[in-house]
Structure 1
Amino acid sequence: MTHRFGRYELTPLVDGVFSTSSEVLIHPAGESARAAAIAKVGPKISIVVNCFALAGEDGLTLIDAGTGPSWGEALGHAPAAMAKAGIAPEAVKRILLTHLHGDHALGLFDGDKPVFANAEIVVPASDFAFFGDEAKRETVPENKRGGFAITATLKRLYAGRIRTAAPGEVMPDISLIPLPGHTYGHSGYLLEGGAQPLLFWGDALHLAGLQSADPDLGLAYDLDSALAIHSRRGVLERAANEGWLVAGSHVEGISRVERSGQGYRLARTD
């Protein structure tokens, strides 16, 4: 299904579904709040993994690239979704990465070759600087170091085609919005120019219902959980105030953010 937003035609691309134990849930209020969240979802959680294609006057742009074949058969389906939508990898002009985690960036690589032979890779400058600095590796728990290897491979396979982006406009009607915490340079992309702006917020939320109702609920994948909460609360409030539509790497569809009690809710619009 495609959607028109100003100068761009949007096609969502589903890479697959990531399943894991609900033990990854965390909560700053302590074990009772964490246990209550786990009781709501059960022993396992399933999280959709999305990418997005934007077709405009200046060619094809992707937001994130999925996992490639690295994370098993349940994932890595973005190339098939692209083919179904008539998108050839060589036709992609640029890829806007929200951050340098595997489910967003490993789809850039086909073994030791780049998947996108003609694409510029746009990376949030803060994420690229952090994961590109090997001296920072020891400051990160071992199970959260994947971004360093991804960045090293990105530098090698896409040399000369990487552009780091600061907050602000990265291409016509699209601006980078910093949302740090999940990674230090984690960012969203705000698409304007249509009747309603649309924010692609990356991993600001992984669990649409639970985390919109309780933005303090997080997942163990965050590098800085307190900062991730601050970003999540901030973006939910800003989207509600500004009337932004939102789409995410791990939430289904396009929604608007509505206040609900002490939290928020996502109301599907597509």
Structure 2
Amino acid sequence: MSALLPGAPGRRSLIAAGLGSALLAALPRRAEAAAPMTGLRPPEWYRTRLGDFEVTVVGDGDLDLGEPAAGFPAHPRDDLTQLLRANFRSTEKLVLPQNCFVVNTGRQMVLFDTGVGYTRPFGPHTGMLLANLRAAGIMPEQIDAVVCSHGHIDHVWGIIGGDGKPNFPNAQVFISRADFDFWTDEQRASAQGWIGTFVQGARRNLLPVRDRLAFVEDGKEVVPGVIAVSAPGHTVGHTAFMVQSGNAKAMFIGDLAHHEVIMLRRPQIEFAFDTDSKQSAQSRLRVLRMLAQERIGVLSYHFAFPGIGHVAAEGEGFAWYPLPWGVAL
């Protein structure tokens, strides 16, 4: 056999090159075509600890309330736009998450608020509570107590399912008497506009569980580790709840503040769905000052998911400091 030319590959190199080419040809090729978008929303739940309690946040989906100015009609539009833009939020629409909290005290599973339920009045990406509970490993029949901050559409409409049966068959339901009486008043069910709609839905969800319903009272224990804190104005009986395990404290604030920018930076702002906006602002100021001064954790229903953090006094209002993921309250 004639010698190979200088600089040409040797026999072994040629054999290796041939084998390498064959192996490369046999390997699956990297996909070069774009994959279709799934459009699927991932399960929305998050878990942390509060003292000896385990806290699971379960999303019910986002409420799209449209143009921000519609939610705060008495407030200068320019100020709302400036606030939102400065905080990198949409100036075109107001989107509020729904963060339902499950607190496992070791003795009981306590669910705070229930979302909009099966009717999904805000579209197909709401009413996700039951699916996300199961994704988090919590079955509806494990819930011992359903604690309601107030009787609005996005807080109590998830109590009863589409089959007319309770979604949480073993749970006692808690709400203030003032809110129960107001939102189940038959005469208000025929009222024009959103109030009539809210009353009809509250009656559909609260009346079927009347025999297992108990009324909360300001300063009184609801279940061990949970104390009711009256914060009226958004509704006549709106209630927040202090959750305490040992020295660890956090307050579920319900609708004390709907948005971590607008309603913390401008705590006296009036919200379109308040029953008494002036009273609501006073409740908001009182509770937020206490939470800031005492450095108590916040479990927020409508702040950006998972809605856990702290508030601090800043300027004329308050600033929101989300809890880092993986950190216990």
What TM-score, normalized to structure 2?
0.75
CA contact (8 A) 1:25 1:217 kept: no
Rounded Cα–Cα distance in structure 1 between residues aligned with 2:184 and 2:52: 34
Q: Which runs of 5+ in 1 are unaligned?
A: none
CA contact (8 A) 2:53 2:105 kept: yes
CA contact (8 A) 1:200 1:248 kept: yes
Which residue, 258, 261, 269 being the options, matches 2:312?
A: 258
1:20-39 aligned at under 5 Å gives the runs: 20-21=65-66, 22-26=68-72, 33-39=76-82
1:1-270 aligned at under 5 Å gives the runs: 1-21=46-66, 22-26=68-72, 33-39=76-82, 40=84, 41-71=90-120, 72-111=123-162, 112-135=164-187, 142-167=193-218, 168-252=220-304, 253-270=307-324
Distance 1:155 1:257, change over 3 A: closer
Q: Which runs of 5+ in 2 are unaligned?
A: 1-45, 85-89, 325-329
CA contact (8 A) 1:5 1:195 kept: no
Distance 1:207 1:156, change over 3 A: closer
CA deviation vs aligned residue, 1:150-178 (integer Å, no higher than 9, x gap): 34223442131111111121111210111
How far apart are 1:260 and its partner, in Å?
0.8
Rounded Cα–Cα distance in structure 1 between residues aligned with 2:210 and 2:189: 22
SS across alignment from 1:122: strand
Moved more, 84-93 or 126-135: 126-135
How far apart are 1:52 and its partner, in Å?
0.6
Moved over 4 A (4+): 135-138
Rounded Cα–Cα distance in structure 1 between residues aligned with 2:271 and 2:141: 35
Distance 1:244 1:182, change over 3 A: same
Moved more, 79-88 or 68-77: 68-77
User: What is the number of residues matched between the two proteins?
Assistant: 266
Rounded Cα–Cα distance in structure 2 between residues aligned with 1:151 and 1:19: 21
User: Please, what is the CA RMSD of the aligned residues?
Assistant: 2.0
What TM-score, normalized to structure 1?
0.91
Amino acid at match of 2:96: I
How far apart are 1:191 and its partner, in Å?
0.6
Greater share of residues in strand: 1
Distance 1:259 1:156, change over 3 A: closer
SS across alignment from 1:212: helix
CA deviation vs aligned residue, 1:210-241 (integer Å, no higher than 9, x gap): 21111122321111111111111111111111
